Structure 1
């Protein structure tokens, strides 16, 4: 297994991480989801991704079961919350702690930063960030990050608002793949800022749940190699079977840094298919936007905003 440092945290994490959504899918038997997590840890993968909203909690419940029997001590555990208010974020975090059956979560991230208003709600005095800071102070969480898949400019806005409040995130999660380089690119716009400030880079959607592969321009291993070749701390990839775990491990074992010509050749192959975002629907549609379909997860708007309304 290849290991890297998670930004300025000095935590050592596996370059490949287990995606939490897939292990809780209804089509995946619970025992299979648990076995995937344990086998991944046994094979050296220590970074575990999850979210409060994945599969109505099934993903966290299965991961909690998988971490019993000493596996928790060998894992760097991350989950995400959707709440924008302090009250809702606290509720979701407490639920995640119960489902995962742990006292401390290594990393909690503000999930689906998709709207330009999200940062202002989160950093409001009644916002979700206050909840995470309190949780960190009491030892319930260790690090704080955020995720999003819609637009790199929204990521930059989140970083800017955080800076206004004197806060620097420990991690940022975003799409990094062979097509992102051509369209509304997180790689070109956000990645340099994260490297500059030594923020841990969590790459996701290297294959976009297989959608990128439908373009027939890159293989699964090429997709993983490209993401690994970027200055990522972790490339999170979905695994709904032992075969997918094997594929991820194979990609790590066969990875060598890609030269400029190799990168250019791969990008040339994907340029046409990537030009309009067709194979990155998480950027161009609301299909991947769970909070858009469940706005109640976000919680109430800040009182100061409500008071302005007629």
Structure 2
């Protein structure tokens, strides 16, 4: 996709996503959740589900010294209209899921669309991790479970092999333990494309795909350019992550937090998942939602021009260029 076409496409599809115009048919069993005028809401691919455009990242919710502070953060976000909650089986050795499960007591579970991720590549390992996650999250059903860290070219083959994790995921879906199935990854768009191709070869359709979407991605191994159009064409809900690349993209001094969030929200994504570890950062995310207007083509171009030099070699997207974010590489036993 040429640069000018990319800018036009991003602006146009971002408006569609913001207004819900890109939604598919309402899915059987789609759940209606409370909404707030403070928040933007979007369709999740073609599932029929409506979710908050800001997602509460689970990793950072396991970092507070006091578990009660984590719970207060989640309650504050949900009370102000955040309905999409992100987590993972391995985040903070399970602490993130435990705290989220505690926060979702007393009626809060019914207010949210709950997502977590599994590292297991085999059916046996996936099942083991899923049962642990269900227990930690104190629920008998998780709305969306994604294959985590699909970052190696062989990951799709392992997941879709005989006895692979896809078998366990489909069985769990049929059993009512999970509702939707997706995958995540942050290393290289070629791996995402291979996962989508492998799924098609097996006659499988993912409900969601999670990928880096930020002001530097367009310049280096771009998921936004290469993967997002394919996902949109297939009716797959796009979940944006790495808006700030942890803190590294902000460290480049080329973009401010609200700008970065507005850029993500302008893309044709269902949710921008962002790490929230304090009330101050929660307020930042809420401000981004309340003040959001889809960026114009000229505004997107100006922002990308500003980040082009810093982004050209992936220096600030360490998740693409280093093993810094690769939990399953450091812990291969999680894969099974």
| Band of TM-score, shorter chain | over 0.9
Superposed CA deviations along residues 8-62 of structure 1, whole A, max 9, x for unmatched, are 101000000000000001x442111111111111000000000000000000000
In structure 2, how many angstroms separate the alpha carbons of the residues matched to 1:254 and 1:240?
A: 21
- 5+ residue gaps, structure 2, are 1-38
User: Which of 122, 125, 147 pairs up with 2:184?
Assistant: 147
The aligned runs of 1:1-310 (5 Å cut-off) are 1-25=39-63, 27-299=64-336
In structure 1, how many angstroms separate the alpha carbons of the residues matched to 2:300 and 2:153?
A: 33
Q: Check the 8 A contact 1:107/1:142 in 2, yes or no.
A: yes
In structure 1, how many angstroms separate the alpha carbons of the residues matched to 2:245 and 2:216?
A: 10
Q: How many residues align?
A: 298
How far does residue 125 in structure 1 lie from its aligned partner after superposition?
A: 1.7
SS at match of 2:46: helix
In structure 2, how many angstroms separate the alpha carbons of the residues matched to 1:212 and 1:260?
A: 22
How far does residue 160 in structure 1 lie from its aligned partner after superposition?
A: 0.2
In structure 2, how many angstroms separate the alpha carbons of the residues matched to 1:32 and 1:9?
A: 33
Q: Check the 8 A contact 1:50/1:59 in 2, yes or no.
A: yes
- Structure 1 segments of 4+ aligned residues over 3 angstroms from their partners: none
Task: State the TM-score, normalizing by the size of structure 2.
Answer: 0.88
Superposed CA deviations along residues 158-182 of structure 1, whole A, max 9, x for unmatched, are 0000000000100000000000010
Task: State the TM-score, normalizing by the size of structure 1.
Answer: 0.95
Superposed CA deviations along residues 167-209 of structure 1, whole A, max 9, x for unmatched, are 0100000000000010000000000001111100000000011
Structure 2 counterpart of 1:304: none
- 5+ residue gaps, structure 1, are 300-310
Q: Check the 8 A contact 1:206/1:227 in 2, yes or no.
A: yes
In structure 2, how many angstroms separate the alpha carbons of the residues matched to 1:201 and 1:298?
A: 24
In structure 1, how many angstroms separate the alpha carbons of the residues matched to 2:80 and 2:65?
A: 21
